[in-house]
Amino acid sequence: MGEIDTIAAIATPLGTGGIGIVRISGPDAFATAERIVHLAKGRRVSSLAGYTCAYGLAADQEGPIDEVIVTAFRGPHSYTGEDIVEISAHGGVYLMDRLLNACCKNGARPALAGEFTKRAFLNGKLDLTQAEAVIDLISAHGGQAARAALSARGGALYRCVGEIADRLTYFAAHLSAWIDYPEEEIEAVDPNALQCDLAKCLQTLDSLAGSYETGRLVREGIETVIVGRPNVGKSSLMNLMTGVKRSIVSDIPGTTRDLVSDTVLCGGFVFHLTDTAGIRKPDDPIEQEGVGLALEQIERAQLVLAVFDGSEPLTGDDRRVMEACRGLNALALVNKADLTQVLDAQAFASDFKRVLLISAHDTNIIKPLTEALTEMVGLGAFDSSAAIVANTRQRAAVMAAAGELREAVEALENGVSYDAVAVCIERALDALLELTGKRASQAVVDSVFSRFCVGK
């Protein structure tokens, strides 16, 4: 990391708030804070023990800045592993800027994006997957995403990968010893046992690689479109799911012409909802454009909610909707369950994975609808505590390791020499160590922390 200096940054969002925090980390953290803050009763910032707070007055060359609370963290028992001082003042852009400028004039420099967490990684406080979990935790929009990120921050992925890496290290060492020192009394390599063990590691890696798509849905949310012919209750469903009147509800066909979008939480997962124009063959060119947009959204969506009026027979426009949904991840919602039903659910069996009878004006449908939505996108049995591959960097490393192990298993099956098998195992191990950051290049490390905000 080169020469260690002292960094400072505003650790809270810029804007008006009850409290704002300026964080200082490095060898001169206490000295920097002491030049700015005068504690009550003549105490000195440098005298504070770790995990303690003290009241004082912050000032610069222009005079008093604000009353503050100073919180001390002594390295190595801190987030970065270094001495950290946090100065809490009343929140506000002016006060925070002035405090930060005072820090930078008294021994610190402005921190780069993600530099606090980068120092935590370089100081061995967390591995690279745990560092990436920090930004996922900050950016989480749903409860399940937050829990998954917290699990990763706690080391779920690191432990899973670490167990495989430990096994591969043992295999590599055993093979190397067997190959290089044949005259020594070293336990013979059992090719069948080795192949079995490698296959188990490969199975775990394949499972991890497969978790990427699930993790992406949890993290980014599911693009969901509501479609149907006019007056079947699409807008009512949109309003029910969002909890506010986002779409105009009217008996007049063609009321919704543009796309209406919002984000909702269902079962702790994020769904990006889009209400569309009623699908039919209109004479109005503006409405026709809206229908075209609706059909485009169907093709792009990860989940389609197709709404039908259960109190009326299927129309040509209904069948057009069914045809557009054919082969897609689509849920048929037969609306107006409070009226006499004339539609048979079997009519939708060939075009939809699931059919649900609802009333878009009844809040009691939220629970069964939520269960149906999560099952449709494969999140019904999602375990937020399990190890999950969270981004493309992690997936690439896992897939690279899996590819090498696959070659090692095939080499053993074909009776190839142990030298080739050992090379594959060592390459797989390198990929896993890059994943955790133990052998990651500077470019990889810089790329990971470039995603962070300043102050974290």
Binding-site positions for (6S)-5-formyl-5,6,7,8-tetrahydrofolate: 23, 86, 125, 456
What single-letter DSSP state applies at residue 312? S
AA letter at 8: A
Check if the beta carbon of residue 387 is closer than 8 Å to that of residue 208.
yes
**Please, what sign has the CA dihedral across residues 362, 366, 368, 374?**
positive
Q: What SS3 state is found at 140?
A: coil
The structure tokens listed for 120 are: 């935590």
Known binding-site positions for K(+): 231, 250, 252, 255
SS3 417: coil
Are the CB atoms for 116 and 79 separated by under 8 Å? yes
Distance CA 337, CA 83 (A): 63
Q: Residue 142: what are its φ and ψ, rounded to 5°?
A: -135, 160
Question: Binding site: residue ranges?
Answer: 23, 86, 125, 231-236, 250-256, 275-278, 335-338, 456
CA distance 254 to 311: 20
**Could you tell me which residues are annotated as the binding site for GTP?**
231-236, 250-256, 275-278, 335-338
CA pair distance 121, 118, nearest whole angstrom: 5
Residues annotated as binding site for Mg(2+)? 235, 256
Beta strands in 191-312 (DSSP E): 222-227, 260-266, 269-275, 303-309
Q: Structure tokens of 131?
A: 């560092």
Q: How far apart are the first and last CA of the chain?
A: 18
Q: Compute the half-sphere exposure of residue 300: CA atoms within 13 Å on the CB side of its CA.
A: 11
User: DSSP 3-state assignment of 416?
Assistant: coil
Distance of CA 415 to the CA centre of its chain: 43
Element (H, E) at 316: helix 316-325
